[in-house]
Structure 1
Amino acid sequence: MADDDIPGTFASPACFLHEVDPAYSGLPGPLDLQAWTDVNRWRKAERERLIAARLDVPAETRAGWADAIAAGVLAEIGDVAGRVVSAYWPFRGEPDLRPFLEAVARRGGRTALPVVTGKGQPLEFHLWQAGEALSRGVWNIPVPAESRPCLPDIVIAPVVGYDPAGYRLGYGGGFFDRTLAAMPARPRVIGIGYSAARVPTIYPQMHDIPMDLIVTETGTVRRQGDVSTVRALT
């Protein structure tokens, strides 16, 4: 079906779409090249499968799921007054949390969007709220027109897929993991996605960083254990 809920104002959204090009990301190579090749091949196929599956869901159904996810995230966060919450712009069937950002602002919180700064560089987060100007960034991704860098207290990250250990399957370039690794203080990181995006494992590698929790339309997924070593397909 056509992805009829993608905003038409910009060519690409301000989410983690910049992860799509590993050559741009500048990640160091894995210790086991063959293992990484196998995992990367699997991730690419799984990413395509999961995106196609969520786009097959009617837009009105996804909208209802997004409302449930937003409510779940607000319940997990609690009092947002004085706190900075970063989210993203919806892309290719991702849950649309723009109303969630408006709710955060109404409750006294501040909201932000991620900004790509350059090849191999961590993301920056810049304050922005609904109604403020946006401009075109890298890959035509909309970013806050006014430069107001901040360090979020809470980062909301859309997942293409996720596993019980809290690892996130993203778009493939690793910017998100690099960003978390470079931040002076780790924010609370909440992955959001649909329950059907759950997989047994994403085969986490050394650079992958797990979410603190993941919220779906059916509830909250809390981390079950951890993986600290490179895992290859078996």
Structure 2
Amino acid sequence: MSGNSDRSRHFASPPCMAGEVVPDYVDPLAVDPSQARDVARWRSAERIRLAGVRDALGQTGRARVSEQIGAHLRAVLTERGVGRDTVLAGYWPIKGEPDLRHLLSELHRAGVTVALPVVEIREAPLIFRRWTPETKMVRGDWNILIPPFEAEALNPDFSLAPCLGWDGGCFRLGWGGGYFDRTLAILAPRPVTIGIALSAARLSTIYPQPHDIPLDLILTEDGVTVTRTDR
């Protein structure tokens, strides 16, 4: 599926940095502002801890985990019929996230249309722009590599979401910008969402707030760990 965008050519901050820009952000939709502040502070502390868990793997450990996750993801996508004419939104790995670029290239060669998320307008939903291994990436804010403005805007059928943390309800703890939740809230039809995470990053709960939207499944180096049953 594809679409067009008339949005500004000026790229805003990438979602991965939003929690650092406003670490005490309080969701205005929360029923209890005090409770929302407590959750925001807890999440900020957990982001630091979980980033440390990821860093502790080292380059070799992260490469091994990426390979394991890639193998499991390949099987899941095959089982769900992802193939030619399917649009899959991946991500460009930063800050030690599992690196699935080799698999994205493989999917592209198999006829899958691959897209990457871009923040074009601050506090607005993400835009997904087409990517191929030959795409000449450009630098956004904080030097994050993104597809250029002229790349085709797409609506994904499947979307990968890197997780700092996750829980048994398929809720994702990201970097704190709320961009992925904001995007899922408006996409119709909603894509199948697959959280990409470390097994060690599981939390008993992320204390879901009104704006949090659960993913469809969480995939770690151990395979599919949890799956939503209410969709």
**Match of residue 97 from structure 2:** 94
**Match of residue 3 from structure 1:** none
**Match of residue 194 from structure 2:** 190
Q: How does 1:78-117 map to 2 (within 5 A)?
A: 78=78, 79-117=82-120
Task: Give the letter aligned to residue 56 of structure 1.
Answer: A
How many aligned residue pairs are there? 212
Q: Percent identity?
A: 42
Q: How does 1:172-211 map to 2 (within 5 A)?
A: 172-211=176-215
What secondary structure is seen at the aligned counterpart in 1 of 2:185?
A: helix
Q: How does 1:154-233 map to 2 (within 5 A)?
A: 154-223=158-227
Deviation at 1:115, TM superposition (A): 0.7
Q: Distance in 2 between matches of 1:154 and 1:102?
A: 16
Q: Distance in 1 between matches of 2:187 and 2:46?
A: 29
Deviation at 1:120, TM superposition (A): 1.7
Q: Distance in 2 between matches of 1:15 and 1:81?
A: 29
Q: TM-score, normalised by structure 2?
A: 0.85
For structure 2, which runs of at least 5 residues remain unmatched after alignment? Answer: 1-12
**Match of residue 51 from structure 1:** 51
What secondary structure is seen at the aligned counterpart in 2 of 1:190?
A: strand
Deviations 1:135-191 (A, max 9, x none): 122443221123310001111010000000000000011111000001121000000
Q: TM-score, normalised by structure 1?
A: 0.84
Q: Distance in 2 between matches of 1:22 and 1:124?
A: 22
What secondary structure is seen at the aligned counterpart in 2 of 1:210?
A: coil
For structure 1, which runs of at least 5 residues remain unmatched after alignment? Answer: 1-13, 227-234
Task: Give the letter aligned to residue 44 of structure 2.
Answer: K
Q: How does 1:129-140 map to 2 (within 5 A)?
A: 129-140=132-143
Give the alignment's Cα RMSD to 1 decimal: 2.1
**Match of residue 131 from structure 2:** 128
Is the Cα–Cα contact under 8 Å of residues 39 and 207 in structure 2 kept in the other structure?
A: yes
